[in-house]
Structure 1
Amino acid sequence: MEQHAMIAEEALLINGLDVTAARNTIAAIQADKSLARFQFRARNTWISGGENRSTIRDFYGVGREDDSRTMTFEFTNGEPAVLLGDNEGANPVEFLLHALAGCVTTTFVLHAMARGIHIRDLSTELAGDIDLQGLLGIDESVPPGYEQIRIRMHVEADCSEKDLEDLMTYAQQHSPVCNTVCRPVPVVIERAKG
């Protein structure tokens, strides 16, 4: 009897995600759409030169301020020497690649779980092309951001190639970071008062 219970418990996990918890979350949001509204936050402090540090801890979600995090996540932004830094950390456009990779991966795994697809191995390689003439104000016709970002996914899963292609397309369309990068999103920069 105990072995049967362990097998049933294992069957509820696909790709390390709890299928029952996912279904319960979806049902709760379908019943009360306000639970889907989240606000994530970051705080940043300039240190010196190209070095600055971001901290992340609190957020709003499922209808309340969340206090489940017991530690603050800290990320140091830096620049390579060729861009006047001391390699204090990855630079912000590299962190964007990190955020994009993480979000596309998580979205892919989540929707694979929802489709009952078991992933055996998954890794991604990202490359972004940027022309610094835009950042430096040398040529105003050159955008200061990435011109193109390429994501190469290496996937081994228990499904057909067509199912993998469909899942990759779906993950690209439903990844919050990918969607944010691929469409114009208003960003308001204002001076704090006081």
Structure 2
Amino acid sequence: MEAPNQQVNGFKPEDITATINALKENPAMAKFEWRVRNKWINGGHNRSNIQDFYGGGKEDTSRTRPFVVDNGEPPILLGNNEGPNPVEFILHGLAGCMTTTMVLHAAAHGIPIDSVETKLSGDWDAQGFLGLDPTVRNGYKQIHIDFKIEGDLTDSQKEQLISFAQKSPVYDIVTHGVPVNIGLQEPEAVA
């Protein structure tokens, strides 16, 4: 049995248990709405502001300033490297979510991990995006993920950690189609 306030993988097991119990008692608290606001700057450069969200049964006010993220393109795709391009952000989001999911579930199961490193690559053909070949997909053809997990772990535990990573919300989004509703906002009237 672990001492109170002892952490596993940066999480306190009692916090995990308390959160799970709270969500079991009130499943509505598990509903979240994540939001991003994006504005085109020029060419392939645009900027997202990420701050407010709904979660835990209320609007969250913990973020006093937005996270500002620039999206760009490399020169070969007519950009100026103002930031990673959106398909690279998908890999970043996938890596981050799978890693966090893995270490959280490992902590909940009392499995300490010393280190997790992940290499991701995505096969993409610009012919689809540019409309040059209708048989080529616009997005990734395939994504490759390789984990390097270190710690006093058996091969069976490492396989269990990989199964935990597959509980990642972003892994689910990428591997199962998600309906996307597209609308059009009217410009705000200038006074």
- TM-score, normalised relative to structure 2: 0.94
Helix, strand or coil for the counterpart of 1:146?
coil
RMSD of aligned C-alpha atoms? 1.2
C-alpha contact 1:49 1:85 (8 A) present in aligned 2: yes
Helix, strand or coil for the counterpart of 1:123?
strand
Superposed counterparts of 1:1-194, under 5 Å: 8-9=3-4, 11=6, 13-172=7-166, 174-194=167-187
Helix, strand or coil for the counterpart of 1:133?
helix
| Aligned counterpart, 1:3 | none
- Shift in Å, 1:10: 5.2
Q: Looking at secondary structure, tell me which structure has more helix per residue.
A: 1
Instruction: Give per-residue Cα distances to partners, 1:134-176, cap 9 Å, x unaligned.
Output: 000011111100001011110012321111112202321x100
- TM-score, normalised relative to structure 1: 0.93
C-alpha contact 2:5 2:12 (8 A) present in aligned 1: no
Distance 1:119 1:10 in 2: 18
Helix, strand or coil for the counterpart of 2:179?
coil
Gaps in structure 1 of 5+ consecutive residues: 1-6
How many aligned positions are there?
186
- Shift in Å, 1:9: 4.5
| Aligned counterpart, 1:4 | none
- Shift in Å, 1:19: 1.1
Helix, strand or coil for the counterpart of 2:141?
strand
Gaps in structure 2 of 5+ consecutive residues: none
> What amino acid does structure 2 have at the position aligned with 1:181?
V
Distance 1:99 1:167 in 2: 18
Distance 1:106 1:77 in 2: 23
